[in-house]
Amino acid sequence: MDKPKRLFDCIALQLHKHPKEDMLAAKINGSWRKYSSSEVGDIVDRFAAGLLELGVSGNDMTDEGSDKIAIISNNRPEWLFTDMAVQQTGAILVPIYPTTNPNELQFILNDAAVKYIFVSSQDLFDKVKSISAYVPTLKHIYCFDTIEGVDHWTMVLNMASADAIKKVQDLKASIPDSHLATIIYTSGTTGTPKGVMLTHKNIVSCGLYGIESFPFPDNPAYKVLSFLPLNHIFEKCTSYIYMFNCIGVYFAESLETIADNLRELKPDGFDTVPRLLEKVFEKIMSKGNELTGIKRKLFFWAVELGEKYDNNISGGPWYNMQLAIANKLIFSKWREALGNNIKFIITGGAACQEKLLRIFNAARIPVYEGYGPTENSPVISVNRQGKGLTKFGTVGPVINGIEVKLAEDGEILVKGSTVMKGYYKRPDLTAETVIDGWLHTGDIGTWVENRKHPAFRFLKITDRKKELFKTSGGKYVAPQPIENLLKSSPYVEQVMVVGSERKFVGALIVPSFLMLKSWMQQQGITFTTNEEVVKHPKVLELYKNAVEEINPNFNHVEQIKKFELLPREWSIETGEMTPKMSLKRKIVLEKYRDAIERIYA
């Protein structure tokens, strides 16, 4: 079979190359329910045929003419069944985050004129139902879970007639790779959601370039654990990469069960975001703090060794011998907690702390950081498997098949088949973002030379163009490098640098309460509530020292002069984080206006 041209071609590819017993799998009633390549093909064909019977159509294969089908669900096989079935009809999938608030949900459903929606659970059904009267195009809601009084998604499968199935075979063969596969609404950190239009060619070419660049092994026995939201293009694109590569995709039961699923499944790899890696590391460090005597000393000795690790420069025989001992005594337990079989972890969506990359890789848990926006389907660059092709603190070499250059102000520009078709119904925004074929990412970057492989320069992200701010003295400040360095403190969970049009730079800091309370116990300090903790003089002194430790790394104007400790973690649920765990700076500025005013009082 030739290379895939449409996303749903992954089924035919697997059937031709490596028919699998576990193309997709999910935990049901305590055991893994596996779907073979042929079973997935059968379900998707019948599902598509049922959609045709419902009147779903790609019509003339235009963006406006094709029907829009929405999905709002946790990760599960039904998510990808829906995605591929909708594709095969020529309709367009509109994926929506389960955490989307009702107002934003109503806007998206109306903007896309959604015809049908598939939800996973009772609470999501209730959320859609509550605003359905205000979405005139919405005909029906189907649910993946079995709920009394709610139509189950299999009703659509059961509508499939022999004629409709035959029509699906003819229709999917005629769908061009230029046709829209999806419209992904990105709320970003501010403003009204924008619908990013991605064609089959956009995502498929990004996936194939990724396979060629990384590369992934041609091993059908491999399996990955999926838990990042499929609504986000990062997890969606990598899921198709895995299916193109005949790697089994297993869905975690929930975010709370990831640790159990990893130990049980023993996957070869998974995708993550830095925030989740940080939480894993915090738990590991918390366990280390509970140790006493020689065990405690060994633990922190191993972590200190890991912080010095450099994959490109040998630490010498003495360091290497110590690291081998640390791996045997300490890091082996970390690997066991992840299933003891990890060959790759790919992290993206935000900047990963360099310290974490050093420690995890020293512990023989290979973490590769990559980068790319939704508008590029999404991958622009990724650190790669292979000697000299990974550099900590960078997002790796640019993937094969695309062009990347830096504008005069350092903005990263990308050109190629991966660049979006545009923003849905927003030609004005499209014209501002894609100029002469070059996607303007809004990210500021720089090149880092690769001495071993000069042709593979490393891309380093230094900041977001829109996040740069001026102090009242007229000096520009890039907050991200300051935040990243401060987050390297074990006592800092989250941080946001402030100071736009102010006389100096300040910071809002959310402590790592797990680590902080452990430190307080060691100091003999009693505590009750988080509100009391963040006001304690000795705690304030601890954070003052943490700030003063990183300040010399920056120019005087960039140094943090004052800060406020906050008693609660920022989250998706409380509104300060996007679903892909990026900080909503505008929301934080508004929500914590009083705390910011105290900094500048």
Judge if 396 and 511 occupy the same domain. no
Judge if 457 and 483 occupy the same domain. no
Judge if 515 and 551 occupy the same domain. yes
pTM of the model: 0.88
- For residues 21-33, average pLDDT: 96
- 477 in Cβ contact with 499 (< 8 Å): yes
Phi-psi region of 499 (alpha: psi -120 to 50; beta: other; left: phi over 0): left
Residue 472: the pLDDT is 85
Phi-psi region of 35 (alpha: psi -120 to 50; beta: other; left: phi over 0): beta
pLDDT band at 467 (very low <50, low <70, confident <90, very high): confident
Judge if 159 and 294 occupy the same domain. no
Residue 189: the pLDDT is 47
Judge if 72 and 36 occupy the same domain. yes
Rounded to whole angstroms, the Cα distance separating 325 from 59 reads 64
Express the helix, strand and coil content of the chain in percent, nearest 5 each: 40, 20, 40
Note the pLDDT tens digit of each residue in 143-190. 999 999 999 999 999 999 999 999 999 999 999 999 999 999 986 544
Angle, alpha carbons 308-310-314 (nearest 5°):
100
Note the pLDDT tens digit of each residue in 42-59. 999 999 999 999 999 987
Judge if 254 and 338 occupy the same domain. no
Judge if 457 and 591 occupy the same domain. no
Judge if 13 and 122 occupy the same domain. yes
Judge if 337 and 264 occupy the same domain. no
Note the pLDDT tens digit of each residue in 500-535. 989 999 999 999 999 999 999 999 998 889 999 999
Judge if 284 and 355 occupy the same domain. yes
- 485 in Cβ contact with 467 (< 8 Å): no
Biggest alpha carbon–alpha carbon distance for the chain:
76
Is 90 exceeded by the pLDDT of residue 99? no
User: Which CA distances in Å does 265 have to 159, 253, 360?
Assistant: 35, 12, 20
Note the pLDDT tens digit of each residue in 409-428. 999 999 999 999 999 999 99
Helix (H, G, I), strand (E, B) or coil at 437: coil
Provide φ and ψ at 108, rounded to 5°: -65, -45
* 527 within a domain of the structure (yes/no): yes
Is 80 exceeded by the pLDDT of residue 61? no
Token digits of residue 35: 């779907």
Judge if 237 and 382 occupy the same domain. no
Residue 101: the pLDDT is 85
Q: Please identify, among 229, 252, 269, the residue that sits at the C-terminal boundary of a domain.
A: 269
Note the pLDDT tens digit of each residue in 573-588. 899 998 878 888 989 9
* 377 within a domain of the structure (yes/no): yes
* 188 within a domain of the structure (yes/no): no
Domain enclosing residue 127, as ranges: 9-175+214-269
* 206 within a domain of the structure (yes/no): no
Number of domains in the chain: 3
Is 50 exceeded by the pLDDT of residue 342? yes
pLDDT band at 215 (very low <50, low <70, confident <90, very high): confident
